[in-house]
Amino acid sequence: MNEVYITAIEKYMPNRAVSNDEMEDYLGLINGNESKSRGLILRNNKIKSRYYALDKHGKPTHSNAGLTAAAIRKVLENNIDISDIELLTAGTSSPDAIQPSHALMVHGELGTPHQMEVMSAHGTCNAGMLSLKYAYLALASGEYKTAVSAASEIFSSWMQAKNYDNEIDKRKEIEDNPYIAFEKDFLRWMLSDGACAALLQTKPNTSNPSLRIEWIDIKSYANQLETCMFAGCVKNKDGSVKGWRELSSEEQNLQSVFSLKQDARLLQKHIIDCGVDHLGKVCDKRHFDIDDINWFLPHLSSMFFENEAYYKLAGGGFHIPREKWFINLPEVGNVGAASAFLMIEALFNSNKLTKGGKILVMVPESARFSSTYMLLTVV
């Protein structure tokens, strides 16, 4: 197996950062009313700014494919010619269309002078990691020597007021139990747009740091748990889902079938526990000692989970000192499939890395519960 390195990683965020006070200027008012839960939700998630591929009139400024292509062009600049890319992988949970696949649309946007293998990974938070693992394995196996892996989201147009039915004010319920906010209204004040692309090669940089991918371990818990985050379907009382094709157009509209929703009850009960369980399995399987890491990059959908993650990991035997945690959620928002890439990019392009340092990346996904851990070494 070849060693595989991330030799460059760059982000492309649309437009300028949007503050908390400006959010409804872009997303709009539901039924003409300001959200009464927005302040409570923002207080819990502690996000201070995010990015929208919209102007203040709600008009889209970028497509997902265009945003991703911009990140790829940026990572290739001064590094490698686009014609040398042999494989393109891209992950997202918010593609521009159901078909064609997202990565094919990105390839079309790039307009490369040559054909290449292209792979799309669809899902929610782990879509970016699935994209990265495909590229990693393709290079490790000797199939290719150079690949680009990207992750991106455009949630803002999905979160606009026009896509929501009448929302009930749940201020008292949110105050009593913050998990209640992790439904449709929560997602409006948490999600952000952006793209990030990584250049993968079988040789490291000679003058600048590279990140060697030691392993990427992904596990699904869908065999044990029911659907938690969903769109394009409705969830029945027995936990099963009914897809949009089984519903009439009237039912689709009445039930906001195409808006993104989350089952707060399941999120509260399982999201952290799955990650702790998976880490135990990773350590046993790979003879990995958590004390060896220098940096811990956990993808958190909200800073509300930070303390719970810290104490549950410690309770499971994985004490990771706070000074090793690296999180940029408050600055960029939750960019779903791109969030882990954006943490890696921010750390990689800082002056914080030292040769030989170990970076552990954690990505929990609540869609039907899956988990990723990745170990990187600075070389």
pLDDT of residue 167: 47
267 and 253 share one domain: no
Rounded mean pLDDT, 16-43 = 89
Peptide bond into 330 cis (omega under 30): no
pLDDT band at 168 (very low <50, low <70, confident <90, very high): very low
- Expressed as residue numbers, the domain containing 315 is 212-221+263-378
247 and 281 share one domain: no
Asked if the model's pLDDT at residue 190 lies above 80, the reply is yes
247 and 155 share one domain: no
Phi, psi of 49 (to 5 degrees): -155, 160
Rounded mean pLDDT, 104-110 = 97
240 and 192 share one domain: no
pLDDT of residue 232: 94
pLDDT band at 254 (very low <50, low <70, confident <90, very high): confident
Supply the Cα-derived Rg of the chain in whole angstroms: 20
149 and 88 share one domain: yes
284 and 156 share one domain: no
pLDDT band at 13 (very low <50, low <70, confident <90, very high): very high
Query: What is the residue type of 76?
Result: L
Q: Which residues pair with 196 in a beta bridge?
A: 11, 151
Task: Tell me the CATH number at 333.
Answer: 3.40.47.10
Could you tell me the two tokens for 324? 């090793």
**Number of structural domains the chain divides into:** 3
pLDDT of residue 7: 98
Asked if the model's pLDDT at residue 164 lies above 90, the reply is no
pLDDT band at 253 (very low <50, low <70, confident <90, very high): confident
235 and 203 share one domain: no
The end-to-end CA distance of the chain, in Å, is 18
156 and 275 share one domain: no
The secondary element (H helix, E strand) that includes residue 241 is strand 241-243
- Cα-based distances in Å from 208 to 54, 95, 309: 36, 34, 33
203 and 217 share one domain: no
Asked if the model's pLDDT at residue 78 lies above 90, the reply is no
163 and 217 share one domain: no
pLDDT of residue 230: 93
248 and 285 share one domain: no
pLDDT band at 183 (very low <50, low <70, confident <90, very high): low
pLDDT of residue 29: 86
138 and 280 share one domain: no
Rounded mean pLDDT, 195-200 = 98
pLDDT band at 173 (very low <50, low <70, confident <90, very high): low
Average pLDDT taken over every residue of the chain: 92
